[in-house]
Amino acid sequence: MKLKQLLNDDDAVSPVIGVILMVAITVILAAVIATFVLGLGEQVSQTSPNTSFSFDYEEGSATDSWGDGGSSNDAILTITHSGGPNIDANQLGVAGSSVNGSAQWDDTSQDPQYSASDEISAGDSVEYAIQNDDRISVIWENEEGTESATLQNFIAPNA
């Protein structure tokens, strides 16, 4: 008779489940603390700035005095930093077929008004002579040169 009563007794189930839950919580808490103590949380990659640019496309013949020896282009594109955080000039570039691959904002052969130590802030702009139907991208690159991101694109109208 006592054997049947022993098999039907569920009094010890609740404390066992409680102990298992407490051990699991302790292990998870120890892992989180170890992550911060060992500095593993500091290895997060740098993200691109949330910056916007505006584009002013002015049609007409424009002479490109920098990339390809003074060829005639279809328009002048003015790129203006219109909002967001300041960015070092040596971290911003412009890419497109009209600018022969890419050009930095601080490249004196492109636009001598910015140097590598300048910060590009809202209202600062740069001009490029471009072709019709060209796709121009504003590109950001981190200080180490290991990451880059396209911040904004512009597609010139087809004439």
3-state secondary structure of 114: coil
68 — pLDDT class (breaks 50, 70, 90): very low
DSSP single-letter state for residue 89: G
Whether the predicted pLDDT of 22 surpasses 90: yes
- Put simply, whether the predicted model's pTM sits higher than 0.75 gets the answer no
Whether the predicted pLDDT of 49 surpasses 90: no
- Neighbour count for residue 63 (Cβ, 10 Å): 10
Q: Is 136 in contact with 120 (CB distance < 8 Å)?
A: no
Distance CA 136, CA 130 (A): 9
Q: Which residues of 88-105 are buried (b: 16+ CB within 10 A; e: fewer)?
A: bbbbbbbbbebbeeebbb
Q: Is 137 in contact with 152 (CB distance < 8 Å)?
A: yes
Distance CA 89, CA 103 (A): 11
- In this predicted structure, what is the pLDDT of residue 27? 96
Token pair for residue 66?
Answer: 């920098």
81 strand-pairing partners: 53
Of the chain, the end-to-end C-alpha distance in Å amounts to: 99
